[in-house]
Amino acid sequence: MKKILGLFFSVLMMFAASADALAGTTVGGTVDVRGRWRQNNDDLNNNRSGSVAYWEQKMNLWLDAKIAEGLSGYVELQSRGSDGFQTWGTNRGDNASNQMMFENESFNSIQFRYAYIDFMIPGTPVGIKIGHFPVILGHSIWVDTSYWGTDGLLFSSSPIKELTVGAGSFKFSETAANGNPSDTDLYVLMATYTFMPKNTAGFNLSYLARSGKAFVAGATDADRFDRSLYNFMLTADGTLDFGLGYKFEFDFQAGTLNDYASSALTDISAGGFALLLGATYGIADIVEAKFNFGYGSGDKISSADKNEGYFSFNNYGYTMVYEDIVGQKTGNSTLGAGDFGLNNTMYINFGAGVTPMKNMSAGMDIFYLMSIEENYAGQKKNIGFEVDLNFGYQIYKNLKWTFLAGYFMPGDHYETVNSTDTVKTDAAWAFEQVLSLSF
């Protein structure tokens, strides 16, 4: 791995040294150091486990080459991790009694984040992007693969200045073994139209095809599931002359989810939907007020032949504690995982931000949260409130320090099921700081 990294760094330096010959070539990167502290995030119970504190680091290196008019290439490396961050002090690789004196080996793997070619077909208004790149559709509540990118092919064109149309094929997963074939593909048709300066409307039709057995060795038909899902999307966003900004998205899903169990196929129809509304208003580039509303349908526990929950591939996060970490309560002593987007959730958000100085910013967001459907019989839908704070300080042009804090006050959605239920309704909080250097 060190030889591969050495070769890549050598290539980066070669390009940097030849910047005069390739004036459009940019070499850059970031180093991010993050500290996280969390309390009661795994069970909302002050009397049990749930406190954690740790440091992480993320590294990115990229090369953006503008080879010629209409031709470019991009390559980016990122440290390994769910979002690129590596925890300090893990994967040490030694068992010595004085191992704290040994070199820390946390950065044991670096992977390609993006690697793609972007070009225009000569003599035509058609552009092609091919390789491994981020895919973000609409306002990211349906698909957002920006953390690690997606293999894909995207055609785009602007037949007139105000209109952009595109078509793409993206590979979310692929298993090529003869005995256990499995893959997930996404096909997309899209269009955006600028109907007035700084205001656009969009249309997006996606088809998701998932077939084959689960991604585990020796999977049987009982581990197999197929999905044939359409997602129809309408979007709009922009800024009006008097300073009001807005955004809108509506997604509707239809199709089938096929589960194999005991060699019998069960067809389940899909019918989820989601709605996103947002507005911002700024005053003299110093103060900004905002309002956001999000709604994602949930699945009724009484319905066995239809799934009405909103399904997504995304990194769409709106709260620091509830959506990112805690999740909903799904049963006795059970909390669902975070990063589930808008599935079975409604939120109302009021917030404000202030920029008292050019290099300083601060903000506060208040959320009311509610589940759409109960996860088990008799469950309440009041998820609770959350307050999130943020503060950013631009120390240098290329160095920023960000502080984030979230405080989640659970509602009766998390009340105990019976006497053995360990999930309570104690408040949970999280705090993190990120020091980011770009070069």
**pLDDT value for 177:** 59
Distance of CA 159 to the CA centre of its chain: 31
Q: What is the Cα gyration radius of the chain? A: 24
**pLDDT value for 221:** 55
Neighbours of 52 (CB within 10 A): 12
What is the model's pTM? 0.87
Three-state secondary structure string covering 350-381? EEEEEEEECCEEEEEEEEEEEECCCCCCCCCC
CA-CA distance, 4 to 7, in Å (whole number)? Answer: 5
Tell me which residue has tokens 């593909």: 185
Could you report the average pLDDT of every consecutive run of 10 residues in the chain (439 residues)?
51 50 81 94 82 91 94 95 80 47 55 96 96 95 93 96 96 69 88 96 94 58 72 97 94 83 64 96 92 96 84 88 93 85 96 95 98 94 98 97 98 93 93 97
Structure-token pair, residue 205: 């039709």
Question: Pseudo-torsion of CA 137, 138, 141, 144, nearest 10°?
Answer: 30
Stretch (H or E) spanning 392: strand 382-396
**pLDDT value for 19:** 46
**pLDDT value for 361:** 97
Question: What is the distance in angstroms between the CA of the first residue and the CA of the last residue of the chain?
Answer: 24
**pLDDT value for 87:** 83
Structure-token pair, residue 201: 């409307």
**pLDDT value for 262:** 43
CA-CA distance, 80 to 87, in Å (whole number)? Answer: 10
**pLDDT value for 102:** 45
Strands (E), 109-180: 110-120, 126-133, 136-137, 143-144, 150-160, 163-175
